Structure 1
Amino acid sequence: MSFNVSSNVSRRLVLRGTAVAVAGAALAAPTAIAATRTAAGTDHSDHSGHGGHGGPQPFDEVYKGRRIVGKAAEPGSHGAHHGGGFSAFIDGQELHVMQNGDGTWISVVNHYETYPTPLAVTRAAVEKLRGAVLVPIATA
């Protein structure tokens, strides 16, 4: 009873190794491309909501009858601590915003929904408030 196990095992090992190598290359390629673009200074994609120019774009507009403002945070403000250096306001009251690790934004009004920019999260907060006044939050 002759039984050639070694050829079956090595064939399996080769196939498994090939599958792992292909999967590894497929997973590593996007990271390598992004790193190359960033190193070359050619990555102009805007996945973070920062507009690609050092931070979120400021805004000042009236949205659904409410004045919303977004700007660089002043030292000591909530935005300087949690907002990634950015503050948002609705009718002069600071809306607590925070940037997530993936670049999306949330606010105290809509904490479980993410938005691509501070402008989008501030507009969404106005919609959720439905005319209610934004009440300051005690953070101490």
Structure 2
Amino acid sequence: MPEITRRRALGALAGAAAALTVAGTAAAAVRPEPAATAPSAFDEVYQGRRIHGAPSHGGGHHGGGHGSGYAVRIDGEELHVMQNADDTWISVVNHYEPLATPRAVARAAVLELQGAELVPLAVA
């Protein structure tokens, strides 16, 4: 009976790892991506401020890509929002605090503004 050497053991381990990688890649390729659902529209008064959000067809003021196709307004002023790759949302007011929905982002912005007016974002 042949003796198992370190070289044979490492070769078998590398082969098994490669087989698992190929199998995992094939399974991921067959599995369909979940369909992303667009956030629902909202229009409410929160903490005395009117917040409104709805899908937009203009692609935001960046002309697509970054605009996320969703518009949020606080007291009529646009709150620039962006959707992250993990489906969380951020705004210019709370850029480092990703939240689950544009409504949550609008509410967080109202709290952060503490009564101050939302100043329009200047785009160069």
Matched, 1:134 2:118: yes
3-state DSSP class of the match of 1:87? strand
Once residues 103 and 26 of structure 1 are traced to their aligned partners in structure 2, the CA distance between those partners, rounded to angstroms, is: 27
Once residues 28 and 135 of structure 1 are traced to their aligned partners in structure 2, the CA distance between those partners, rounded to angstroms, is: 47
Bigger CA drift: 25-34 or 123-132?
Answer: 25-34
Q: Residue 128 of structure 1: CA displacement?
A: 0.9
Once residues 79 and 70 of structure 1 are traced to their aligned partners in structure 2, the CA distance between those partners, rounded to angstroms, is: 18
Q: Residue 69 of structure 1: CA displacement?
A: 0.3
Which of 91, 110, 132 is the equivalent residue of 2:75? 91
Which of 14, 17, 25 is the equivalent residue of 2:15? 17
Matched, 1:62 2:37: no
Structure 1 residues 3-58: Cα deviation after superposition (integer angstroms, max 9, x where no partner): x8x84122221123224434x268548735742xx5xxxx46xxxxx5x2xx2211
Once residues 106 and 30 of structure 1 are traced to their aligned partners in structure 2, the CA distance between those partners, rounded to angstroms, is: 32
Higher helix share: 1
Structure 1 residues 110-133: Cα deviation after superposition (integer angstroms, max 9, x where no partner): 111211211111111111111111
Q: Which runs of 5+ in 1 are unaligned?
A: 45-49
Distance 1:14 1:120, change over 3 A: same
Number of residue pairs aligned between Structure 1 and Structure 2: 121
Q: Taking every aligned residue pair, what percent have the same amino acid on both sides? A: 50
Q: Which runs of 5+ in 2 are unaligned?
A: none
The TM-score, its normalising length taken from structure 2, stands at 0.77
Equivalent AA in structure 2 for residue 67 of structure 1: R
Distance 1:79 1:30, change over 3 A: farther
Once residues 43 and 62 of structure 2 are traced to their aligned partners in structure 1, the CA distance between those partners, rounded to angstroms, is: 16
- CA RMSD after TM alignment: 2.9
Distance 1:106 1:64, change over 3 A: same
3-state DSSP class of the match of 1:89? strand
3-state DSSP class of the match of 1:71? strand
3-state DSSP class of the match of 2:96? coil
